[in-house]
Amino acid sequence: MCPKDNPAERAMLLEQAQSLCHEHGASLLFLTLFGSTLYGTETPGKSDCDARGIFLPSRESLILNNAPKSLHFSTGSSERRNLAGDVDIDLWSVQHWLLKLLPAGDTGALDVLFAPSRDACTLYRHPALDAVFASPLRLLDTGKGRAYAEYSLGQAKKYGIKGSRVGAIKAVRAWLATHCPEPRPDERLGAHLDALAAACADNLFCFVVVVQNERALQLCGKLHISTIRMAELTRRVEADMRRYGARAEEAERNEGLDFKALSHALRALDQMEELLQTGKIVFPLRNRQELIAVKQGAYPWRDIEPRILERLAAVDALQKNAPFAGTYDAGFAESCVLACYDGGKTHTAEPANTTRFAEEFSIPADTVDAIQAKLDAAEREHGVKILYAVESGSRGWGFASYDSDFDVRFIYVHEPEWYLGVAPEEKRDVLELGIEMMPVGELDINGWELRKALKLFHLSNPPLLEWLSSPCVYREVGQLAALLRNFAPSCTSPIRTWHHYRSLMEKSRVRYWEKKSSIKAWLYLLRPLLAMRWIELGKGVPPMRSDLLMDGVITEAALRKELDALVNAKRQGGESDGFTPPPLTEAFVRGEWDRLEREAPPLAAERQKADLDAVFRTTLEGAWPDWPYGSTPCKL
């Protein structure tokens, strides 16, 4: 029986972990079943039992500088691999986990960060770590880290996968076998160098160099001058293949493969892709059945290799423009560590304001300064703190023209006393700074009060959800945006969001018929259609950026080319410039209209419930850490 289904085994693991901590004067903070049990890839009767967790070193050990970074218990042996029934418990200190492993992108540390998504595997959880698990994107760097991808390559490179030393030798060997199977005695490398490099060069292990005015092939650190005979090159490559490529040769025959390692390679890439697309990793893994099949040897190497390469390419592409991005916040991580020694109360020193713009979404510096000045003035005038401010509208969607205005939307919070009245719901919950023409352009700035924003989040309000993935962030303070991004993938209603975009599509359709030649009208019609498709494909919350929307739903190359041209025309023209839609684009729009008029697609109704009360309290405390300032006494 799996430990997650066996109360006695769960109790035994927890007792052993607590005993391990007690031996070192430490306290247990978190313990979860790990490995195949957490991933959902366990094999009955074959998988061992892994548990991983976090502990709090004693103050005394820290003062004496002898606090351990990790603790380990095992029933297995270092001389053999673990067998079914063996138990491994690995614990990290909270300092080592939050301050060292997570910023370094350690894959195991990231898995622990998202382990609470599978409640059945959690054996113990101290409230002191609640802020950590609620804000994972503040504790990792999705833009810089390739930890999962590098882990995957490490598992697969020994079998000669592309991008490795053995892979380069293997590729050249295959080219020689195809193009020069029986070279003539006088046939030399120079005659084939360009063709060979075109097919096999990778800028790392195989490329052309010039040595003393002579071109040469550099293959895995060895130089092969262009004047050598092809027969000699073939001999050298074969010798290197015998020296380095035994496993690759076995892989070609489907022998000697460590299928468990290859399943881990695929798992790591899928987890990275999920993290970049949704901002979280959910256990058990969505592709666990495929991973089990790979682990059991159901697929030959020739099928596994292209899957790994395809997913590596997908992860690399996603990392450039990830819908959900995490930036490691060292101050927040340190406050979480201190909270563990302070009864779980997170230190609420306000983090610095974050302003960021995705590549190709730059805003002129004088415009940013003017917007920040307006936000600062609103804070002073109304006694609020602006927690999150972004660009919405065409500039956030990615098709602003030279005369587009700046649509700035924000979320703000009042001082705690504002919420303590008899009927706070009757107070005004929006701030409209008005539309103002300035030298930098037309500014349209308004925002929602925190409680209003949270209520709309509960209702799966699409504009608010789009703000969370805006490529133009003017201000991000505290945990609010990160918490909502974390909740959004699992707590958003596909039905509600789909019908919102359906309504937008109908309104835009009316505008289209009124302004048949308006490029702006066409793009406003296309956006909701693309968002509806995104939802129907089960991809979750549609991103704000139109290019990411198209990446996720448009597979026809010719149509995508037309849509890109449409966006570029909008950027280069004015708001009302005329436009005649190209044939594939018009056919796509009419086809979508016809399909939607016939039937509505089946959509999932169930969703998880977010603890928005906790989000409200955490945000309020973080925004006003020094409250109360003292209250005015009630006079009779």
**Is residue 424, in this structure, part of any structural domain at all?**
yes
- The pLDDT of residue 380: 92
Give the number of C-alpha atoms closer than 13 A to the C-alpha of residue 325, restricted to the C-beta side. 18
Task: Tell whether the model's pLDDT for residue 303 goes beyond 60.
Answer: yes
Range of the domain at 21: 3-133
- If you ran DSSP here, which 8-state letter would residue 578 be given? B
pLDDT above 80 (res 374):
yes
Highest mean pLDDT among 197-211, 224-238, 526-540: 224-238
199 in the same domain as 310? no
Which tokens go with 14?
Answer: 């927890």
Same domain? For 287 and 200 the reply is: no
Q: How confident is the model at residue 634 (pLDDT cuts 50, 70, 90)?
A: very low
- Is 515 found in the same domain as 480? no
Question: What is the C-alpha separation between 396 and 467, in angstroms, rounded?
Answer: 9
Given 244, 269, 296, which residue is the final one in a domain?
Answer: 244
The type of residue at 3 is: P
- Is the sign of the CA dihedral 584, 585, 586, 592 positive or negative? positive
- Domain check: are 396 and 525 in the same one? no
Looking at 244, 270, 301, the residue that finishes a domain is: 244
Determine, yes or no, domain membership for 616.
no
Q: Are residues 478 and 357 in the same domain?
A: yes
pLDDT at 455: 95
Give the residue from 218, 244, 270 where a domain finishes: 244
Note the pLDDT of residue 247: 65
CATH assignment of the domain containing 113: 3.30.460
> pLDDT value at position 197?
92
607 part of a folded domain: no
Residue of higher predicted confidence among 544 and 627: 544
In a domain, 334, yes or no: no
Overall number of domains in the chain: 5
Res. 104: pLDDT tops 80: yes
Q: Which two tokens stand for residue 255?
A: 């022998």
Q: Are residues 91 and 183 in the same domain?
A: no
Q: Is residue 19 part of a domain?
A: yes
What is the widest separation between alpha-carbon atoms in the chain? 111
Instruction: Report the C-alpha gap between 539 and 542 in whole angstroms.
Output: 7
User: What is the CB-side half-sphere exposure of residue 260 using CA atoms within 13 A?
Assistant: 8
Give percent above pLDDT 70 in the chain.
Answer: 85
HSE toward the beta carbon, residue 92, CA cutoff 13 A: 18
Residue 375: pLDDT band with limits 50, 70, 90: very high
Q: Do residues 112 and 11 share a domain?
A: yes
| Residues 420, 377 share a domain | yes
What's residue 327's pLDDT?
Answer: 80
What integer pLDDT is reported at residue 79 of this predicted model? 47
User: So what's the pLDDT on residue 603?
Assistant: 81
Q: Do residues 153 and 296 share a domain?
A: yes
Which of the two residues, 147 and 59, has the higher pLDDT score?
A: 59
Within this chain, do residues 314 and 357 fall inside the same structural domain, yes or no? no
Q: What is the pTM of this model?
A: 0.54
Classify residue 329: in a domain, yes or no.
Answer: no
What is the C-alpha end-to-end distance of the chain, expressed in Å? Answer: 68
pLDDT over 70 (residue 630): no
Residue 635's pLDDT is what?
A: 37
- Residue 391's pLDDT band, with cuts at 50, 70 and 90, is very high
Say if residue 294's pLDDT is above 60: yes
Q: Identify whether 378 is part of a domain.
A: yes
Tokens describing residue 195: 């063709």
Residue 356 covered by a domain = yes
182 with 286, same domain?
no
> pLDDT tier at 53 (50, 70, 90 boundaries)?
very high
Identify whether residues 117 and 49 lie together within a single domain.
yes
| pLDDT tens-digit series, residues 227-277 | 999 999 999 999 888 877 766 666 666 666 677 878 888 888 888 888 888
Tell me the mean pLDDT in the region 321-340. 84
